[in-house]
């Protein structure tokens, strides 16, 4: 048996206590930063998804208008490399094993599925590249990348700040209200700052304000995981109701007023449809952050 004096035991106990206090302090020091990173990455995931459908659509239109067999052969070649080399290698690196069972029943099924998704991915890449590389009538070719990035920022900034406001509900009241005010400021100022027409600003503010404040109230009532699922549903419901009401209003204007009067043009209407579709997809597929608890 090891003998020790009372003073030694007290000193060790104090040392262990101090060590445990230090461990708790380190954990409490890192937890807010980890929570902040989770909020930022989740919100970025959602915001990129909100902008993605419009980029893909515009890029696909560009490819269709400039389609040739060289483009098709390039997609097939790169798709084959991705399907038969990159994808299997990536799966084995993830599992850290050379023996990874395919989820498909037969080699034919695996080949068709992998090749199909790979060609689709290549087409999406070509679509976005074409959209960025093709200068519009209002921009020089060297400014097209900046134009594309500014478009992404405009489409993605509202879902980003709205999602940040939702996820900050579980934090202190000061942080929660600051995030809400930032989202509201972005929502109401983006149109004037980006020189949007008045109609575009109105058709953005009305539905997005409903989504922001309705989702903020939901985040107060339910745990984070359940609340985010409900926020995805309420975003979809708000978008559907808004597009239906706004579409009927525009049809009424065309029926009983001059065709020069428009609340929504067809192009703006379809852009908003793809925007809300991407927003809902982002909320549905993004990995959910862990709720931050305060003590």
| Residue matched to tokens 């952050």 | 289
Q: Which of 15-29, 74-88, 224-238 has the lowest mean pLDDT?
A: 15-29
* pLDDT score at 223: 85
Give tens-digit pLDDT for 246-294.
Answer: 999 888 887 777 666 777 888 889 989 999 999 999 999 988 876 544 4
Backbone angles phi, psi at 159, to 5 degrees: -60, -35
Write down the pLDDT at residue 207.
95
**Token output for 123:** 């087409």
Name the more confident of 176 and 74.
176
Query: For the residues 123-143, what does the mean pLDDT come to?
Result: 62
Q: For the segment 41-52, what is each residue's pLDDT rounded down to a tens digit?
A: 999 999 999 988
User: Measured between alpha carbons, how far is 183 from 210 in angstroms, rounded to an integer?
Assistant: 12
Q: For the chain, what is the mean pLDDT?
A: 77
On the question of pLDDT at 100 being above 70, the answer is no
- Measured distance CA(52)–CA(152) in Å, rounded: 8
Residue from 183, 199, 201, 181 nearest 191 by CA? 201
When pLDDT is cut at 50, 70 and 90, the band that residue 3 belongs to is: very low
Q: What is the pLDDT of residue 41?
A: 92
Cα 238 versus chain centre, distance: 18
Radius of gyration of the chain (CA): 26
pLDDT at 28: 40
Q: What are phi and psi of 32, to 5 degrees?
A: -60, -35
The pLDDT of 94-111, averaged and rounded, is 66
In angstroms, the CA 88 to CA 277 distance is 31
């Amino acid at each position: 048996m090891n003998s020790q004096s009372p003073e030694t035991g007290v000193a060790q106990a104090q040392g262990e206590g101090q060590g445990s206090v230090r461990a708790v302090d380190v954990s409490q020091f890192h937890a807010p930063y980890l929570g902040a990173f989770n909020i930022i990455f989740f919100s970025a995931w959602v915001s990129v998804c909100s902008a993605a459908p419009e980029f893909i659509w515009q890029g696909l239109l560009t490819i269709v208008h400039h389609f040739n067999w060289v483009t098709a052969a390039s997609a097939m070649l790169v798709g084959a490399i991705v399907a038969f080399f990159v994808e299997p290698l990536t799966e084995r690196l993830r599992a850290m094993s050379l023996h990874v069972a395919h989820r498909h029943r037969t080699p034919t099924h695996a080949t068709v599925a992998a090749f199909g998704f790979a060609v689709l991915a290549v087409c999406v890449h070509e679509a976005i590249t074409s959209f960025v590389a093709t200068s519009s009538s209002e921009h020089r070719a060297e400014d097209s990348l900046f134009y594309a990035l500014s478009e992404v920022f405009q489409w993605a900034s509202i879902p980003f700040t709205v999602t940040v406001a939702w996820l900050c509900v579980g934090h202190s009241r000061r942080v929660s209200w600051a995030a809400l005010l930032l989202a509201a400021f972005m929502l109401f100022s983006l149109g004037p700052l980006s020189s949007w027409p008045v109609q575009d600003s109105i058709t953005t503010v009305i539905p997005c304000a409903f989504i922001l404040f309705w989702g903020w109230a939901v985040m107060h009532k339910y745990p984070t995981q359940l609340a985010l699922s409900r926020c995805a549903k309420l975003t979809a419901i708000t978008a559907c109701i808004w597009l239906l009401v706004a579409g009927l209003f525009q049809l009424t204007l065309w029926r009983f007023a001059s065709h020069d009067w428009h609340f929504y043009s067809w192009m703006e209407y379809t852009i908003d449809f793809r925007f809300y579709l991407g927003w809902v997809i982002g909320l549905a597929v993004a990995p959910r952050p862990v709720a931050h608890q305060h003590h």
